[in-house]
Structures are given as structure tokens and as C-alpha cells.
């Protein structure tokens, strides 16, 4: 379904899957998207975010290089699990859990459940 997810998100879904969406956006736009999801989703619906996750520490990692590239070229960014947790909590989505993958892109799958009220 086409549309502008900053204006509205389709309703009626059981699962809302967002893959490679947040990399292109700063925190303000990411919050707008999550707030639209929160307004639309039922209490039973789940939110799944599939994005590269920056690991803690200073060791080289593909997601860290991707972060710099996205920031310099597009104004977006890669994020840590804690940064996603803060974005989600601020928009009424406590993080349920994160599943790391062994993909070459270093994806993580973040699952969140909608709360009954929007706190951010």
C-alpha cells in the first residue's frame, strides 16, 4: 500500500514490519513515524523493526561505517539497541526483545508492543 508514513499508517495490521526505514531518518522523523504507528495499531498488534544495530564498544563494525555514511550523505543514522529502546519508549512502544542475526548486513530484529497511551 502506497502512502506517506509521516501522514498516516494503514490500520488493521497484526504485525507492522519496518525494514531499513529508520536508517534514512533523524530521531525527530523516526519519532513521527513511530507516533503514527502507535495511533493506528491495536493493542494486540506487534511492531517489528529490522535494521543494522551498532554494537557497544569501539571495535570496528559494519554498522558503524554505515552510520557515518548515512549521517554524512542522507542525514539519517544507524542506532544502538539502547537508542532504539529510547525512541520506542518515548513513543509508547516498550521493547519486548531484540533478536540478533548472522546476516552480512548485521541486522537485528527489534520487537515492540504498543502501550495503551502515548507518552512522548
Query: What SS3 class is residue 11?
Result: coil
pLDDT at 109: 95
Give the residue numbers spanning the domain of 31.
15-113
The answer to whether residue 64 is domain-embedded is yes
Output the CA–CA distances (angstroms, integers) from residue 11 to 27, 62, 114, in the order listed.
Answer: 23, 35, 14
CA dihedral in degrees (28, 30, 31, 35; nearest 10)?
140
CB 22 within 8 A of CB 79: yes
Average pLDDT over residues 47-64: 91
With 50 as the cut, is the pLDDT of residue 84 above it? yes
The C-alpha cell of 69 is what?
555514511
pLDDT at 75: 84
The answer to whether residue 4 is domain-embedded is no
pLDDT digits (tens, 9 = 90+) for 12-29: 899 999 999 999 899 999
- Number of structural domains (the chain) is 1
pLDDT at 38: 93
The answer to whether residue 65 is domain-embedded is yes
101 falls in which pLDDT band (50, 70, 90)?
confident
pLDDT at 62: 87
- Give the closest residue to 84 by CA, choosing from 4, 3, 22: 22
CATH number at residue 84: 3.40.50.150
Average pLDDT over residues 56-75: 88
pLDDT at 103: 80
Amino acid at each position: 500500500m502506497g502512502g506517506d508514513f509521516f501522514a498516516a499508517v494503514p490500520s488493521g495490521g497484526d504485525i507492522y514490519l519496518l525494514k531499513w526505514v529508520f536508517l534514512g531518518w533523524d530521531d525527530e522523523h523516526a519519532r513521527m513515524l513511530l507516533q503514527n504507528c502507535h495511533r493506528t495499531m491495536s493493542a494486540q498488534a506487534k511492531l517489528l523493526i529490522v535494521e543494522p544495530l551498532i554494537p557497544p564498544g569501539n571495535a570496528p563494525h559494519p554498522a558503524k561505517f554505515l552510520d557515518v555514511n548515512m549521517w554524512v550523505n542522507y542525514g539519517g543514522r544507524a542506532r544502538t539497541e539502547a537508542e532504539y529502546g529510547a525512541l520506542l519508549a518515548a513513543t509508547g512502544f516498550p521493547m519486548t526483545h531484540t533478536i540478533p542475526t548472522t546476516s552480512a548486513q548485521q541486522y537485528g530484529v527489534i520487537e515492540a508492543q504498543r502501550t495503551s497511551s502515548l507518552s512522548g
